[in-house]
Structure 1
């Protein structure tokens, strides 16, 4: 098994983590290939200056897996200062938003350092006294001190280095346009790139994130996943303000989806909304396809004007003074969202165990970077527990809908994208 020639298409958290875990298991012929001219990919969801790392999930499976990931993130010899344990402030409604309630139960059951915050004063008390905060619209919640954020691009770069140290191959600047087949079936024999390069393989892993549906429609089953763009914006602080705000927690409002980070080393504060995003449908099959800085250099970072307003309102509810600042930049970050929010990890049923999909991150995969490849490697080797394999199966019948991402998705209107004037429009 360990001698199967393997090509992993995509250098995001699924692809790189899978390569590392296979190499650690003795697999010897592993190639990761990505269309981006440089790595980490400038338009990849796994490349950013921060991503939330939290255990706070209503699903015990993800909560426990996140705890394992955080134990790995904390190993400085492996990850340096990639992970920052700033704590995560988890917010919900006073009546007890179900996701928040269940997340608190799971975090408490795992013995994590969590503080219940049942009043507005308690919520405000988690911030430094000299940080002006908003009224939080009467929200309550809890503080999880065993969570924080990770420098996403740094984590990806470290993983690439680990793979090359273990004699894995990482290739950039080659776009895979087709999976080759030995016959008329979907049994794979390799991949072909847009420049004519052919890489032979006994196993092809499609870890292509939000490009999966548009790049490899032949491996899509039903309507399990689709690419959606999520809106992100940034505010610049002065160095003096960066010091004032440096000890704030990540704030995550499960009710609205708004979240915001502490400032990074350049004193930039990033915020986003985990909510229904935007599709960008192209081609004869009308498949949602990412529109990024690489595909659209002149406008691929612009977000809809309505989301600029939503982000500013969210910012005002948390940090009222910062809402008076212009946004210095925006980004439409693309994810592969599944109907139920669970990932897609498994062999395509018609590929005779030669094509495996590892995708469907649904906006919550990066935090698992150190461990997610273990799940994929187990799936490749047929070692996943049956309930877990079914949870991530390509052919599963979703029993629930991820309402936070799946409902109310809109088609991207290119005529309504933000302008410089929108970004300067203060609250």
Structure 2
């Protein structure tokens, strides 16, 4: 069990690492150090300045609707007031007191709403569960079903600019697809949020060792002199050894390569993202797709299972005019042999890794173009201006993995398995990580305990391994020429 007198080393300064560090410091831990190879103090988590962690992104969906997974519903709602407090705190802080990348006008949380669109005229079972579970706890007033006249009248009477947000999808949904608008939801600006959380950590006494040599994890320092395995710290790429009583691996998509023991529970996978940069002279598009007039949306996302072509999501424009649209109907892997063990594991391959990946699988961009053309034909003339593979760790059941690694005498701990839905919990996740470290049960710690897939069972794609048709080495990759929109676009059968 970990106690406040212990020396803690955290590998990874993304959402899991930052939230853990912040709550450790607020719980009396005075010797917490976070290591990361990115110079986040200089690049402010910008995905356009060398940052390739999933947390270093322009935006993430914030939602409280979780079907029958009510634990995450509760966790999301518990964090919502803190997101609003953070907005207010930044707005009231003088510009010269804020960290690089933030100004008093920066918002971390935008409560612009979340439009969930079903694949057909019947609402999915998952969306029905979202509404029924919120109704059970008196929160149905946030949900407005598109085909329910009374629900929509309630929406029109609410404060906020809801009519244009629904109208933006009218041609796509009317008479063909059901869904609902969730007014409790919206988006978080991920890079800005991480910058703020790191600032709060430093104010609370957390130390950061950042940079491509001094902050980059090299290996664990493992003591086997007693016959077992005890982690005594870690080495970084500059050759230095950093003693620690407990090492926490919170490295997102890099976690399995740091702690190979998690390979039975976690797999590094990538979603596919495109960006459309609005031209500065197109005021009509800047207005239409602003958070004031346009919500976050999801089409065909039905919990853990999506239709064959489903699994699309998108955002209003950023303050810089970037519209991000993503596809998670199929998640990609990149299996490589690990130098130390020879084990084959999926690891991130980004436009900034040593072996860069600068484009998406052709199937992904074909499906994205088809959906953009169908939903937002006015964006096809602008065209795709950038692509990104966003690398997460998927767990076997989409629940996080937050527990001690067996066999290391409570000296090695994992906080990972974000499964593409972890970012919204940045303000509160670390509270429950600390409980797990201290072996205190709460509502969430049993859900996140150590577990591995059983042979032959469905394990969120992990059971497919390297040869299930998702490995980048086996896929036809797109080129920049494939970004262009033809007159008609058909979805690619996967």
Q: What TM-score, normalized to structure 2?
A: 0.79
Q: Aligned-pair distance for 1:389?
A: 2.8
Larger Rg: 2
1:398-413 superposed matches below 5 A: 410-413=470-473
Equivalent position SS for 1:391 = coil
Equivalent position SS for 2:270 = strand
1:309 aligns with 2:366: yes
Residue 179 of structure 1 corresponds to: 220
Residue 77 of structure 1 corresponds to: 88
Q: Aligned-pair distance for 1:78?
A: 4.1
Equivalent position SS for 2:377 = coil
1:8 aligns with 2:45: no
Computed over aligned residues only, the root mean square deviation of the Cα atoms, in angstroms, reads 2.7
Residue 392 of structure 1 corresponds to: 448
Go from structure 1 to structure 2 and tell me whether the alpha carbon gap of 1:415 and 1:55 turns closer, same or farther (over 3 Å shift). closer
Q: Distance in 2 between matches of 1:409 and 1:388?
A: 34
Unaligned runs of 5+ in 2: 92-106, 156-161, 303-309, 490-494
Q: Aligned-pair distance for 1:291?
A: 0.3
Q: Aligned-pair distance for 1:315?
A: 1.6
Q: Aligned-pair distance for 1:400?
A: 8.5
Residue 313 of structure 2 corresponds to: 259
Deviation readout 1:124-163 (Å, 9 max, x if unpaired): x853588575424822111110110011000000011111
Go from structure 1 to structure 2 and tell me whether the alpha carbon gap of 1:186 and 1:78 turns closer, same or farther (over 3 Å shift). farther
Go from structure 1 to structure 2 and tell me whether the alpha carbon gap of 1:406 and 1:314 turns closer, same or farther (over 3 Å shift). farther
Q: Is the 8 A contact 1:87 1:146 kept in 2?
A: yes
Unaligned runs of 5+ in 1: none
Q: Distance in 1 between matches of 2:441 and 2:457?
A: 22
Q: Distance in 1 between matches of 2:364 and 2:193?
A: 28
1:135 aligns with 2:162: no
Q: Distance in 2 between matches of 1:348 and 1:403?
A: 21
Q: Distance in 2 between matches of 1:108 and 1:250?
A: 22
Residue 99 of structure 1 corresponds to: 126
Q: Is the 8 A contact 1:134 1:317 kept in 2?
A: no
Q: Is the 8 A contact 1:132 1:321 kept in 2?
A: no
Indicate which of 148, 168, 186 corresponds to 2:186.
148
Q: Aligned-pair distance for 1:96?
A: 3.1
Equivalent position SS for 2:164 = coil
Q: Aligned-pair distance for 1:350?
A: 1.2
Bigger mean CA offset, 106-115 vs 265-274: 106-115
Q: Distance in 2 between matches of 1:214 and 1:300?
A: 18
Q: Distance in 2 between matches of 1:132 and 1:116?
A: 14
Q: Is the 8 A contact 1:88 1:144 kept in 2?
A: yes
Q: Distance in 1 between matches of 2:13 and 2:116?
A: 31
Q: Aligned-pair distance for 1:26?
A: 0.9
Q: What TM-score, normalized to structure 1?
A: 0.91
Bigger mean CA offset, 240-249 vs 133-142: 133-142
Q: Aligned-pair distance for 1:402?
A: 6.8
Indicate which of 25, 38, 41 corresponds to 2:27.
25
